[in-house]
Amino acid sequence: MLLKNKYLNHLLIAIGIAVLLGLLFNFNFFQGWEVRLDDSLYGGESVLKDIIIVAIDDRSIQAIGRWPWNRSVFIDVLEQLNESAVTGIDVAFFEQYDEEIDRKLAESIEKNGNVVLPVEYLFEKEKTELLEPIPVLKDAAARLAFINFYTDSDGVTRKVPLDIDGRYDSFTSEVYSLYLNKEFKYPRDSLLVNFVGPPRSFKTLSFIEVIEGKTSKADFKDKIVFIGATSPDLHDDYIVPTSEGKAMPGVELHANALQTMITKDFLTRLNYLYVYLLIFVFCLLVAIVLTKMKISYGTFVLIGLGVVYLFLVFRFFDKGTILPIIYPLLSLALPYAGIVLFSYFYEEKTKRWVINIFGKYTSRAVVDDILTKAEKDQIDLKGEEREVTLLFADIRGFTAMSEKMTAHQVVEMLNKYLSEMTESVFNHEGTLDKYIGDCIMAIFNAPLEQPDHAMLAVQAALDMQERIRKVQTVSKDVPKVDVGIGLNTGPAVIGNIGSQKRVDYTAIGDTVNTASRMCSLAGRGELIVTENTYELIKDRVKAKKLEPVKVKGKEKQLQVYLIEKIL
């Protein structure tokens, strides 16, 4: 069936594209674009007021002097922060500065009792080097933790490692542990940071403001304080999803990571298996929608589905799950494009096929109706048995007449009459089956169903005779002829019959043979129908009942009628 083939083709297109997209996803083909689109989802969150950044900024460097500073300034700042819940110093103290100052700084750190100092892993080709604070500071710190970040291949930092070699925990994990007095537990060895906004989202105070006493100890009471560089000249900054063209200081990256831990707004990417399922389901939905609906309606449905999915992307992100964007949208767009293109060529092929079969055998209106119904699977052109009315119309006396005419005159006359007879068939929605010399065979109720097919055949037959008379009245040079017509109604096998090289749409069966016999019985200008046909039209025609006739191949005689006119 035409439509069943279309179902299958749409499904095959969808499955083929789903497999292709699955392979592309497996090899991370659009990974760079995908993560950049994901980056646009970050931000818009409220920052925790308990997190404060004390910034080593340009203003502080101008007031205190060029970096690195005399470490005594850290003693001053720690004095102002001694009521904080925890202080994380994102400053490297890996080398000795001054023995006395270092000792005093260690005393300040130990006195505060809540200071986290950094260690750092340096990764080289053949070895990993661990940098730690000088011993006196190392022993004084409440915790030591690494300050490394993970930067992706596109240069964007999105994750912080939670474990590197088992010796130290991450900087934010230790700050979390001191603040909440419990260990941070997470099922993975890295944390995808849920950035709350662009750089400078957290409350930030200048280092110089703190040591000059422009802030009070109460400002930091029970707060989490990060001390770190924000000056661009110190080059401790990173491009992050919310950068908006501006790098984020590493100390603020720690603040974002800590907020993610505290609020438990964790982000996870959708499991790979679900992504494959999503691709397959979306491709299948496109095939179903475009098969069940017109393309114009289906387009709006699929656009709506895409919009709904994008809405879900935002909703799921808020709930902590990062849904893929590119692959699901491609799973809507590519099958749509493939099926639309296929449908265009498929429908054009179908139109050419139907027009090739029926274009010369029925009216254009009927051909258009056939095309519409063929697309909706309402007709079967492969062969079926159905009730039809067969019409045979023969030009009487043609053989004897043609003997007195030239070949050119015979063809001209035959074309003239057959054209008029064919128009009668077309005008009454019949299908011209074939020309048999000077005879026409037509079918009613096929390929389209026509509930009133018997009456349409009668109307066509009487119109045929009227047209023949008009031709003879108008064209004086056309030999006068009469047409004998026979009709029969009954079951016949209808369909495309023939070989691979040539196929004709025709009817076969006893009903056809009987209709041909009725034509043979009809005299000049007569319309003879069988009782089967008459029973369907008897209330609408004036007819004369004739003597039953014996028809070759039938045991019983057939009752026949002469149709005189339509009432």
In a domain, 378, yes or no: no
d(CA 443, CA 464): 15
Q: Is 522 helix (H, G, I), strand (E, B) or coil?
A: coil
Last residue of a domain, one of 331, 352, 373: 352
Are residues 122 and 220 located together in one domain of the fold?
yes
Are residues 549 and 464 located together in one domain of the fold?
yes
Are residues 275 and 257 located together in one domain of the fold?
no
In a domain, 364, yes or no: no
Looking up residue 445, the CATH number of its domain turns out to be: 3.30.70.1230
Are residues 168 and 293 located together in one domain of the fold?
no
Are residues 148 and 19 located together in one domain of the fold?
no
Are residues 293 and 246 located together in one domain of the fold?
no
In a domain, 548, yes or no: yes
Are residues 138 and 218 located together in one domain of the fold?
yes
pLDDT tens per residue across all 567 residues of the chain: 444 567 888 899 999 999 999 999 999 999 889 999 999 999 988 999 999 999 999 999 999 999 999 999 999 999 999 999 999 999 999 999 999 999 999 999 999 999 999 999 998 877 889 999 999 999 999 999 999 999 998 999 999 999 999 999 999 999 999 999 999 999 999 999 999 999 999 999 999 999 999 999 999 999 999 999 999 999 999 999 999 889 999 999 999 999 999 999 999 999 999 999 999 999 999 999 998 888 889 999 999 999 999 999 999 999 999 999 999 999 999 999 999 988 777 666 666 666 665 555 555 555 665 566 555 554 555 678 999 999 999 998 777 777 778 888 888 888 888 999 999 999 998 988 888 888 999 999 988 889 999 999 999 999 999 999 898 888 777 778 889 999 999 999 988 776 656 667 789 999 999 999 999 999 999 999 999 999 999 999 999 999 999 888 788 899 999 999 998
In a domain, 372, yes or no: no
Cα of first residue to Cα of last residue in the chain, in angstroms, is 41
In a domain, 369, yes or no: no
In a domain, 190, yes or no: yes
d(CA 12, CA 92): 61
| Tally of domains in the chain | 3
Are residues 27 and 81 located together in one domain of the fold?
no
Look up the domain containing 430 and give its range.
383-566
- HEC assignment per residue over 378-418: CCCCCCEEEEEEEEEEEEECHHHHHCCCCHHHHHHHHHHHH
Are residues 140 and 62 located together in one domain of the fold?
yes
d(CA 68, CA 83): 26
pTM of this prediction?
0.66
Pairing of strands 321-322, 268-269: parallel
In a domain, 375, yes or no: no
Are residues 33 and 73 located together in one domain of the fold?
no
Do 195 and 59 form a contact (C-beta atoms < 8 A)?
no
d(CA 318, CA 244): 20
Last residue of a domain, one of 208, 241, 264: 264
Last residue of a domain, one of 234, 264, 294: 264
In a domain, 376, yes or no: no
Are residues 342 and 444 located together in one domain of the fold?
no
Are residues 127 and 16 located together in one domain of the fold?
no
